[in-house]
Amino acid sequence: MSERNYWMLMFMLAVCGLSGSAHGEAPGRPNIVFVYADDLGLGDLSCYGGKVEPTPRIDQMASEGFRFTQYYSASPICSPSRCGVITGQFPARWRLNSYLQTREGNRKCEQADFLDAKAPSLPRAFKQAGYKTAHYGKWHLGGGRDVVDPPRFEDYGYDDHAGTWESPQPHPDITAGDWIWSPQDKVKRWDRTRFFFDKTLEFLSKNEDKPCYVNVWLDDTHTPWVQSEPPEKPQSRPSLRKVLAELDRQVGRFLDELKSRGLDEKTLVIFASDNGPLPTFNRARTTGLRGSKMSLYEGGIRLPFIARWPGKIPAGRVDETTVLCAVDLFPSLCALGNVSLPAGVAFDGQDFSKAIRGEAKPERTRPLFWEYGRNETSFAYPKPAGDRSPQLAIRSGRWKLLTNADGSHTELYDLTTDPKEGANVAQKNNDITNQLKQQVLEWKKGLP
């Protein structure tokens, strides 16, 4: 190629926005920070109508961004819910259906000991596209108890990490003991959210010349709620209120720091929860929705989702119709970050990037599936008994059907008129019931 033709090609690439920066990055790629709160319900945030504790800074985040009211986790419990985010696939595909525990406990739940490193990995896709990647906070996808040989963070594509106890490489400042927290931890439990956000800010500062993808997976909203030594009633509503107030304060501080550092308009921040709350305090933490953590009713899987990206996402919007799920995040975030999807992967999620940007409300073209509770002895179930759901669930359009793996205890709800799942209309809608029941049972049969 002649020198003249070479420079003409460079000019054309620049005009088309394809030449990238000096570091080979596509122009305009945002930082993406995914804040994932543990066991947080809709009713824990006042912008969703919650009355537990005011959350003015998270409310402000919602007013500056986009809030979804029909966002679903991939599972009503932590490990599989996180698997859905990382892989973009239903967690049962990877033999995860309960929280990861001892090897014996995992066998009794008929699940793996950790997320297979060969699984599709969201951070790996970003890393391969030139992003710097980090994970700070709870992992719970392998490691802890007697599982001593899980894949390491770098095997999933992370450049940096600070994991809690249930991870392959626990950070020493937050894991002095062999449990989720210890009075001997250098960073006290009530300071963990600050610690994780500080790690994030440091990582962003160190990589100003690269776009970054960062998980900030917070665990202080999971019981015990510890705000002092010794803990004061760590399962009580007053303790939860203190935790929520500190969470809100730290989210606000983080957003303020992004602005002061000139990163505000360069950074997409997403705030969501991994599964429903427990205890619910008489459904106050689910805004009246039936169910809780460990339940496939709405209170266990329908959760907050807020996206904020100044100048790119319209402010003050609320989307009450788009049915968004954790398995959609892999294709959606890749689209938002101009990252290619890995070849040959059959994602269960869909690209909802246009919905997140407020540009359109695409329809879900295939149903969502859930599974929880393969047997009576190895799974924990919520109380009261009315919050315990059947083992399987499917949502298709306005309809949600629940049933057991043997086809018993079938329930059908029209979520447009009955989001609290109070009226089982299965017998009144035989065609819909039979169709959805057949779909979810066939899905179950196809699982590993």
Q: Are strands 212-218 and 324-325 parallel, antiparallel or unpaired?
A: unpaired
Q: Which two tokens stand for residue 82?
A: 């996180």
Write the pLDDT tens digit of every residue in 263-277.
999 999 999 999 999
- pLDDT at residue 61 above 90? yes
- pLDDT at residue 27 above 60? no
Write the pLDDT tens digit of every residue in 165-210.
999 999 999 999 999 999 999 999 999 999 999 999 999 999 999 9
In sign, the C-alpha dihedral spanning 305, 236, 46, 255 is: negative
- pLDDT at residue 230 above 90? no
pLDDT at 146: 97
Lowest model confidence (mean pLDDT) among 211-215, 229-233, 279-283: 229-233
- 368-445 CATH choice from 3.40.50.261, 3.30.420.40, 3.30.1120.10, 1.10.760.10: 3.30.1120.10
Mean pLDDT of the chain: 94
- pLDDT at residue 320 above 70? yes
Q: Which two tokens stand for residue 154?
A: 């770098």
The confidence band for 304, taking pLDDT boundaries of 50, 70 and 90, is very high
The confidence band for 366, taking pLDDT boundaries of 50, 70 and 90, is very high
- Position of tokens 């938002």? 336
Q: Which two tokens stand for residue 381?
A: 């179930």
The confidence band for 19, taking pLDDT boundaries of 50, 70 and 90, is very low
Write the pLDDT tens digit of every residue in 377-388.
999 999 989 999
- Look up the pTM and report it: 0.93
- pLDDT at residue 436 above 80? yes
Of all residues in the chain, the percent with pLDDT exceeding 70 is: 94
- pLDDT at residue 24 above 50? no
- pLDDT at residue 374 above 90? yes
Q: How far apart are CA 400 and CA 121, in angstroms?
A: 29
CATH 3.40.720.10 is held by the domain 31-356: yes
- pLDDT at residue 39 above 70? yes
Are both 31-356 and 368-445 of the same fold? no
- pLDDT at residue 91 above 50? yes
Q: How far apart are CA 179 and CA 166, in angstroms?
A: 8
pLDDT at 4: 45
pLDDT at 215: 98
Q: Are strands 267-273 and 31-37 parallel, antiparallel or unpaired?
A: parallel
- pLDDT at residue 242 above 80? yes
pLDDT at 10: 39
pLDDT at 72: 98
Write the pLDDT tens digit of every residue in 112-169.
999 999 999 999 999 999 999 999 999 999 999 999 999 999 999 999 999 999 999 9
The confidence band for 28, taking pLDDT boundaries of 50, 70 and 90, is confident
- Position of tokens 């689209």? 335
- pLDDT at residue 71 above 90? yes
CB 410 within 8 A of CB 401: yes
CB 135 within 8 A of CB 163: yes
| Bigger pLDDT: 12 vs 92 | 92
In sign, the C-alpha dihedral spanning 396, 397, 403, 408 is: negative
Q: Taking residues 293-304, report their average pLDDT.
A: 98
The confidence band for 357, taking pLDDT boundaries of 50, 70 and 90, is very high
Dihedrals phi, psi of 413, to nearest 5 degrees: -130, 140
Domain residue spans of the chain: 31-356, 368-445
DSSP designation for 423: -
Q: Are strands 267-273 and 302-308 parallel, antiparallel or unpaired?
A: antiparallel
pLDDT at 7: 41
pLDDT at 90: 98
Which secondary-structure segment (H or E) carries 6? helix 3-16
